[in-house]
Amino acid sequence: LAAYAFKTAAERIAFMTVSYEPPRSQGERKQASQTRTARLSYAMGIVAGLDRDVKKGLQEEEQKREEELKRARNAAKTGEAYQEDVDCNDNHEDEPQQQQQESIPVEEKLQQLENEHEARLALVDCNKKIAEDVLKSQKIKLSSRKKRSSISFNQLSYETGVVHSKEIDLNQKAIQQS
């Protein structure tokens, strides 16, 4: 499913880049090199916008998990009942599940959240270790390269790409047509 989502997003970026027509001032002739530079800048803007949105989403999720863990710790410390955040906009189809979650004792919920937190930390450590092991087993040494030569850059196309990156929904909830 993740591979399909990635494929769809990559195809959408390619389609948007090819169909992008850079703005021209009056009387300016269309040159292939200028169009190519503008489209490359546009694609780089899309990627930068998607990267920023993904990092922002991950940061928000991490903050929510930290807040939930903090609430559970405070509830366990003070002996108060732990209540999960429930959005008012959610469908009420999940009410039996929510009632079941609310009936979990504070200590159990705190233990569950602590275990999830520790598992996330262990997974990050494990991923780093795996990456190091793969590099070592393949006898690959990372080193810095010579600085690349600069490319022509079209700032207006880049900024347009950043704005248009919002049309791509990486979670595949919807893809807007421009």
Structure tokens at 27: 């009387």
In this prediction, residue 60 carries a pLDDT of 92
Contact 5, 172 (CB under 8 A): yes
In this prediction, residue 89 carries a pLDDT of 45
Distances in Å between the Cα of 50 and the Cα atoms of 2, 10, 69, 71 are 16, 11, 29, 31
Contact 54, 35 (CB under 8 A): no
In this prediction, residue 26 carries a pLDDT of 55
Q: Tokens 């906009």 — which residue?
A: 89
AA letter at 129: K
- Fill in the DSSP letter of residue 94: G
In this prediction, residue 85 carries a pLDDT of 55
C-alpha span between 92 and 96 (Å, rounded): 9
Q: Count Cβ atoms below 10 Å from residue 154 Cβ, excluding itself.
A: 21
> Which among 11, 33, 119, 133 is positioned nearest to 69, based on CA atoms?
119
Full pLDDT tens readout for the chain, 178 residues: 677 877 888 888 899 989 998 877 655 666 777 888 889 999 999 999 999 988 998 899 889 988 888 888 887 777 766 666 544 444 444 444 444 445 567 777 778 888 888 888 777 778 788 888 888 898 888 888 877 777 778 889 999 999 998 888 776 655 445 4
Contact 39, 22 (CB under 8 A): yes
Q: Taken in order 31, 32, 36, 37, is the CA torsion positive or negative?
A: negative
C-alpha span between 95 and 111 (Å, rounded): 23
pTM of the shown model: 0.60
Contact 161, 42 (CB under 8 A): yes
